Structure 1
Amino acid sequence: MTENTKTHVILLSCGSFNPITKGHIHMFEKAREHLHKTGRFIVIGGIISPVHDSYGKPGLVPSRHRLTMCQLAVQSSDWIRVDPWECYQGTWQTTCSVLEHHRDLMKRVTGCILSNVNTPSTTPVIGQPQNQTSAIYQNRNTVSKPTVVKLWGKMSESFGKICCARPNMDRFTFVDENANLGTAMRYEEIELRILLLCGSDLLESFCIPGLWKESDMEVIVGDFGIVVVPRDGTDTERTMNHSSVLRKHKDNIIVVKDDINNPMAIVSSTKSRLALQHGDGHVVDYLCQPVIDYVLQSQLYINASG
């Protein structure tokens, strides 16, 4: 497949990130590597979306700390960004609503048409310019189509102003999403999708009766699709068979192949918090040094209540 015929993907990970661990970053890297190896996808970006403070999880530190730790964890990455939108809302947002927000935002910022995972576009995906100004890449015969590098670069110029730029650590601000972004870029024959990236523990939660609204699961798995990175040797095949929605949309679930002995597979925020509370030196195996420094400086997780 040529670059333009491959599906361009943005990986979105939702969660507490309390704190963000090396395992979270590893999940992004392994997912991108796996998707590229299939020959069908090009991962052009990753988004970390920390949960709102009103989620109510015991020991959840304020979002200003969690956002900062996430920023520190990805400061050397050229493709993973932190998005504060979810934290800035008036209340807790469902995973479904976060996915839909980013889908709608990407439509406005990129001019691309985002197709559902289970109903791929049968025609070239062409973004519509927002005004009458001549569109870039309008002449197929004389101007080359955008490469993935150009696509992500151009997207970042506008997208970064809204939610993916790394803001000042002391204050998180972003441009109003309804602001005038100028002429939208026109990307020809590029299919763009947002996929939910998660660990197998989230997949297992889909099987807990009453925890998820079935309508939300239909949208998450049926319309968007998910990329699962197994943890602790979880049998994802068995998990999927326990849910009618997961079985129905099995083709939309991409399971990443990872080394079962990879130490990152057992890293968790819970273990990290316990290590911090007990002064366990193994915390360096769980968290990157800038995050550890910030935790110590801010005196986070020094007791069982967070």
Structure 2
Amino acid sequence: MKRKVVLLACGSFNPITHMHLRMFETARDHLTKTKKCGVIHGGIISPVNDKYEKKGLVAGFHRVAMVKAAVGSSDWINVDSWEVEQPGWTVTRRVIEHFQETHDPSRQNLQFKLLCGADLLESFAVPNLWDEEDIEVILKDFGLVVMTRAGSNPQQFIDQSPQLTRLKDFIDIIDEPPHAISATLIREYLKSGKSVKYLIPDTVIDYIKQNQLYT
């Protein structure tokens, strides 16, 4: 019997956009239709720790609150603040292992899969950014679900990497990119006073205004 699957997305979510949310829905539809895994049991969004020190990153409690507001209407996607609450930045492998150990340490019932965009997959090739052993564990022990984006070719990237070619059976590519709405674009709009209506959830817009973020 196939284990139930939990989709886990790690990232800045600075702020969360409709694209992030659609990524979950698209992935669930794809995996359910292709029957490549068990039933999708849930989705978790894990915002990165402040110590990641990415330029323009607002405080973690704000990003958690925005995600919580955004997923309020979802019956299967949730936010978890564990990563934000750690004393320092946690590597992605350890984040996935934490959720697996917390929800099903025996690994008999649930399987966590890392849900990401093609940019994360391509970052595997950046020198000194990823530990090769971590990539091996993430793919073999958990699995990767990759959403394509405009101008990306995940399959070609995999074919050019000996390690990823060897582990390609643990990678699901979904060739149905969401609309090109990036958090970077949202921040630029907010700083210049442009409207972000329909680009991010109204609840997130309200939170940003109330807390005067990205101004």
> Does the alignment reach a TM-score above 0.5?
yes
CA distance in 2, matches of 1:233, 1:75: 32
CA distance in 2, matches of 1:203, 1:242: 12
Q: 2:51 aligns with which of 43, 50, 54?
A: 54
How many angstroms does 1:7 deviate by? 3.4
How many angstroms does 1:230 deviate by? 0.7
How many angstroms does 1:233 deviate by? 3.8
CA distance in 2, matches of 1:299, 1:248: 48
> Structure 1 counterpart of 2:164, which letter?
L
Percent identity reads: 47
What whole-Å deviation, never above 9, does each CA across 1:178-209 have from its counterpart, x for those lacking one?
A: xxxxxxxxxxxxx4210000001101101112
Number of the residue aligned with 1:163: none
Q: Which runs of 4+ in 1 moved over 6 A?
A: none
Residue 266 of structure 1: SS of its match in structure 2?
coil
Q: 1:238 aligns with which of 156, 168, 172?
A: 156
> Structure 2 counterpart of 1:85, which letter?
W
How many angstroms does 1:8 deviate by? 1.2
Q: Structure 2: which 5+ residue stretches go unaligned?
A: none
> Structure 2 counterpart of 1:18, which letter?
N
> Structure 1 counterpart of 2:86, which letter?
Q
Contact 1:268 1:286 in 2 (8 A): no
Is 1:102 matched up with 2:15? no
Q: 2:183 aligns with which of 248, 264, 269?
A: 269
Number of the residue aligned with 1:8: 4
Aligned length: 214
CA distance in 2, matches of 1:244, 1:270: 32
CA distance in 2, matches of 1:243, 1:99: 23
- What is the correspondence of 1:143-154 to structure 2 with a 5 Å cutoff? none
Number of the residue aligned with 1:166: none
CA distance in 2, matches of 1:69, 1:271: 17
TM-score, normalization by structure 1:
0.67
What whole-Å deviation, never above 9, does each CA across 1:106-149 have from its counterpart, x for those lacking one?
A: 125xxxx31xxxxxxxxxx4xxxxxxxxxxxxxxxxxxxxxxxx
Contact 2:104 2:110 in 1 (8 A): no
Is 1:38 matched up with 2:28? no
CA distance in 2, matches of 1:251, 1:39: 14
CA distance in 2, matches of 1:87, 1:100: 16
CA distance in 1, matches of 2:35, 2:61: 39
How many angstroms does 1:239 deviate by? 1.4
How many angstroms does 1:257 deviate by? 3.1
Residue 98 of structure 1: SS of its match in structure 2?
helix
Q: Structure 1: which 5+ residue stretches go unaligned?
A: 115-124, 126-190
What whole-Å deviation, never above 9, does each CA across 1:223-276 have from its counterpart, x for those lacking one?
A: 211001111141111111232321111000001131x5xxx3311110110111
Q: 2:167 aligns with which of 237, 244, 249?
A: 249
